[in-house]
Structure 1
Amino acid sequence: MKKKIAIVAYSHGREGTSVLMGILKCLYYEVPDKVKPSKMNPKGFFEDPDFDQLVFECYGRENGDLSWPPSNVGHIKSSSTSVRTAKREAFFAEFEKIIASNPKYALKAPRYLLVPLIEKYTGLYDIKIIHIVRNEKDHINSIFRVWQTTPNIEKEKKVFKKKAIRDWVKAWKEFGSIVLEETPYPILRLSFESLINDQEKSIKMIADFLEESSISVNIFGWIEPKLVNRRKLKI
């Protein structure tokens, strides 16, 4: 039986990716756990920042979180320099090490950049992608609220302004749509709102998509809508 890998693809945080990873954990997928829970995500983030940084560096993007998308997908698929080639070899080694521990593994794919990298494993593993998106206004407001309360962010920077956040998020979403159009893997498209407001239906969709029949009894108590900060801010 092929190893099963679930990839949660998204543009930026605050889209319900941690909730979704928690659901995958309840479906008995192993998940990263290198970021401690916080007030913002009391149940956990299920991320590996070092691995995410390695993904960004495969494309020569040292400042991955604040960078803008490449001009085209063909560019990010090429390994035009020895530095990028070395980084990608390091990525492949780390990826294989991470997934070796369990027959089922789930990973986040911020900025969608993990997706083209793992095309090398087409046919070798059973890879499926869950693409989660959130209502634009709520998403941008949520990012802005987090940044307002984050220490060490220079609020004078253009990147901190809401219009710039909107443009930045939009650019990555447009890039992501191209990445997902070209991927060979099956995709389940899921909205943040349906995940929060219609839990039973969403969980069934996820389980059916991944062909999972064994479900933890804790799964239906995992999503707590009260933890979602839906306070409105004008943009």
Structure 2
Amino acid sequence: MRTHHDGRHEHGQNFLVDRTVITDVVDLVARTTGPILEIGCGSGALTLPLQALGRPLTGVEVDPARVRELRRRVAPTTTLVEADFLHHRLPREPHVLVGNLPFHLTTAVLRRVVHAGHWTDAVLLVQWEVARRRAGVGGATMMTAQWWPWYSFALVRRVPAAAFRPRPGVDGGLLAVTRRRAPLVDPRDRRRYQAVVHRVFTGRGRGVPAILRATYPRARTDAWARRHHVTDRTLPRDLTAEQWAELFALTPPVR
């Protein structure tokens, strides 16, 4: 017999069943303002508690069977949409994103999120290691560095695999993403900034100063390195958002 927590394999569904984690997610959303859009409602573990916030709520769920089941349980004020979030047209007014993301689609969903406009905050449950790296714990990924000037990423907590049904092979992590009100880099320079980050991450050299010397005027980059205590042992993953922004502000690379 199928229960609310029997995920379909093709959708990579691991339903959240831990009440403490659910409460933590809802509490984080409660600190934000504006309409809420939930990514992947599943069995409604987050949808139903989110309704208690009294804000407009839209749930996007790809599984038609889940949508039919959940429509019988949600309040009339909650809108359910049968769609793939990766292709769903998002609101063009400020809103908050929340979701327990399918682990195998984490990277694809995160890319969609950071490229989307208008949302102000995102509360996302992803794989533990992805959450750590996106938040810059133990070293940031190139993707994080490329989006840091416009978003802040915070690791909230670890979520054990036992909090899901069926149980995944890895733990989850609760990640909070906030759109910066004052970007560290002008959004019009996004492509050029991201190209610089890519160049540094993929450049040759044992440390950031050595990588930079291949394309930047040495005097400027050495002064930047001294100000930020960047040594020959510092790797691109070790730089902070502010360090990346100031590096970008230096004289453009020599082509």
Q: How high is the TM-score relative to the length of structure 2?
A: 0.29
Which structure carries more strand by proportion? 2
**Higher RCO (CA 8 Å, separation ≥ 6 residues):** 1
Q: How high is the TM-score relative to the length of structure 1?
A: 0.31
- The structure with the largest alpha-carbon Rg is 2
Which structure carries more helix by proportion? 1
